[in-house]
Amino acid sequence: MIRIIACAVIIYSLSFIPAFNQVNRNISGKNSKNALLPDKCYIKYIYEFPYESKPEFHSERYPDLETRKYFNADLIVPLFRKILEEDFKVYDPNWWGSIRELISQGPLPVIDTSRILKYMHTGWDTTFSIDENSIISILPVYDYPDYSTISGLFFFESWYLDYRKGFLNKEVVAYLPIYEYWDESSLERGDQIKLKRLVCMIYNGEKNPKKIKRSSKNAPKEGYKCIYKGITSEISLFNRPYAFYLHRGQNEHGASDSEYNEWEYHTFDFYRDFNSERFLEALIDLTLNGRFVAEDPANPGKTLTKNEVLDLVSDKQKSKINFDDLNSVLFNEDWYLNEDSLCILKKVNSIKIQRHEYQFDEYTGDFLRVVKTPLITISLK
């Protein structure tokens, strides 16, 4: 089955800060300059588009069923126009392996537009009409796709965090649109369950390593159009079960029993190999070294000092960074699309580190809410 893999192994240290007494992990010129891995850091995660929700009549049982219209037209409309109208080559989305395996083996077979439309519950269908003479006529009907139901994108990426120059490149190896829909059988049983399904895979492949390691501070070259500026994307740094995000049927997609059980019963973690502490440690280290600039999220443009950064992220009693509640980061990015190749390029502007506070009812102990507090905004500009 698909495994969500987020790898990050840090090869440097915070040993220059006496208070942290970290083990020295030297960055040597003999090794890669990537602060995440000696060679590659492959990441999988899901981006969800912003949306507007409203109630619509579904049945007597659910007269006000929530529908969501996702604001995705700047990307999804040209994307599907290219795929459906120009017969652009896309691939079977049911990839169960890692990104490394995808690059070495190549994607699954090409799928045609009928498969894509089937996944979106649209396309050609047949209906019947009976006239006054009881003559039955067959009428072909075409349901057009509703692109506003594409809730997000499942990204397969290679991250390159340059320790010396101070920039983060996010190379999109592949991305998969996600179709969101209500499970009709569950509605009939009285349960409101929404499902998400992968529609197809757009495979960009891996670029020349020399190009990957260049700074992406400047806008991409000719052929790319800026589709989103300052787009925000939150990535949780704790494990979540895969079924929380996507759904596929065992019979329809051919998962083995072991793969299906591992996925369906949550026996693996969403970020199985991701070390969030080392990733955060890299960002904080580069900030304290002056390669990144830390700003106050509540006062954009106000630069934080080293001591202020340390006060915000450290446990004063233990004199070390407290990673226990630093549970998500918020990326601010510019996205560019090449409408011929459908390649997406990203320029990372900033990364906001957020602290999560879990609040419980003081009498019953029941969970109430998660309060997310932005601590520092790390500017990569």
Q: What is the pLDDT along the chain (381 residues), one digit of tens a residue?
A: 333 334 333 323 333 343 333 323 433 333 456 777 656 778 888 899 999 998 887 777 777 888 899 999 999 999 999 999 888 999 999 887 788 889 999 999 999 998 899 889 887 665 666 767 777 766 665 678 899 999 999 999 988 887 777 788 889 999 999 999 888 888 888 888 888 888 999 999 887 655 555 555 555 667 899 999 999 999 887 655 555 556 555 445 555 566 555 555 444 444 555 667 778 888 898 899 888 999 999 998 899 999 999 888 887 666 677 788 888 899 999 999 999 999 999 999 999 999 988 888 788 878 788 889 999 999 986
pTM: 0.80
Instruction: From residue 226, give the alpha-carbon distance in Å to each of 188, 219, 231, 336, 343.
Output: 43, 9, 11, 4, 12
Q: Where are the domains of the chain?
A: 18-379
Residue ranges of the alpha helices (H) in the chain?
73-85, 99-105, 113-119, 184-189, 209-212, 250-253, 257-264, 276-288, 306-313
| Closest of 362, 279, 328, 321 to residue 22, by C-alpha | 321
Bridge partners of 128? 138
- 322 CA to centre of own chain: 25
Both tokens of residue 217?
């501070």
CB atoms within 10 A of CB 304: 21
| Nearest Cα to Cα of residue 270 among 45, 4, 2, 1 | 4
In this structure, what token pair is assigned to residue 68? 């969501």
Q: Which two tokens mark 21? A: 């007494």
